[in-house]
Amino acid sequence: MKKIYLLLLALFAMPSFANTSNFQKIKQSKILKVCSESGYLPLEMKTATGKWLGFDIDMMKAYAQSIGTELVMLDTKWDGIIPSLISGKCDAVASSMAVTEERKNAVFFSNPYYENRFLIATKNTPENLKKFESLSSFNNPNVTIAVKTGASPDLFIQHSHVFDKAKVLRFDADADTVNAVLEGKANAFIYDTPYVKLASLHYPGKLAIFPQGFNGDHFAVAFRKGDKDLLDNFNKFLIQWKLQGNYSVSMKYYFEGTNWTAMLN
State how beta strands 114-123 and 31-36 pair.
Answer: unpaired
User: Could you tell me where the DSSP H helices lie in the chain?
Assistant: 2-13, 22-29, 55-66, 81-86, 101-104, 126-131, 152-159, 174-182, 193-202, 228-243, 246-255
For the chain, what percent of residues have pLDDT higher than 90? 70
Overall average pLDDT of the 10-29 stretch: 68
In a domain? residue 3: no
Q: Is the pLDDT of residue 165 over 90?
A: yes
DSSP string, 180-243: HHHTTS-SEEEEEHHHHHHHHHHSTTTEEE-S--EEEEEE--EEETT-HHHHHHHHHHHHHHHH
Domain count, the chain: 2
The string of pLDDT tens digits covering residues 85-133 is 999 999 999 999 989 999 999 999 999 999 888 999 999 999 999 999 8
Contact 78, 150 (CB under 8 A): yes
Sign of the four-CA dihedral 126, 131, 134, 137: negative
Q: Is the pLDDT of residue 217 over 80?
A: yes
3-class DSSP state for residue 35? Answer: strand
Contacts of residues 45-50 at CB distance under 8 Å and 24 or more positions apart, as own/partner, are: 45/264, 46/75, 47/263, 47/264, 48/264, 48/265
Is there a single domain that holds both residue 83 and residue 198? no
Is there a single domain that holds both residue 210 and residue 125? yes
Best-predicted range by mean pLDDT (10-14, 70-74, 100-104, 173-177): 70-74
Overall average pLDDT of the 204-231 stretch: 91
Instruction: Provide the domain limits for residue 143.
Output: 116-217
Q: Is the pLDDT of residue 11 over 70?
A: no
Q: What CATH number has the domain bearing residue 90?
A: 3.40.190.10
Contact 196, 209 (CB under 8 A): yes
Specify the pTM. Answer: 0.72
Q: Is the pLDDT of residue 8 over 60?
A: no
Per the prediction, the chain carries an average pLDDT of: 89
Is there a single domain that holds both residue 128 and residue 246? no
Q: Which of 8-22, 83-97, 132-146 is predicted least confidently?
A: 8-22
Banded pLDDT at 19 (limits 50, 70, 90): low
Burial label for 195, CB within 10 Å (0-12, 13-18, 19+), is buried
Overall average pLDDT of the 209-236 stretch: 92
In a domain? residue 55: yes
Is there a single domain that holds both residue 209 and residue 152? yes
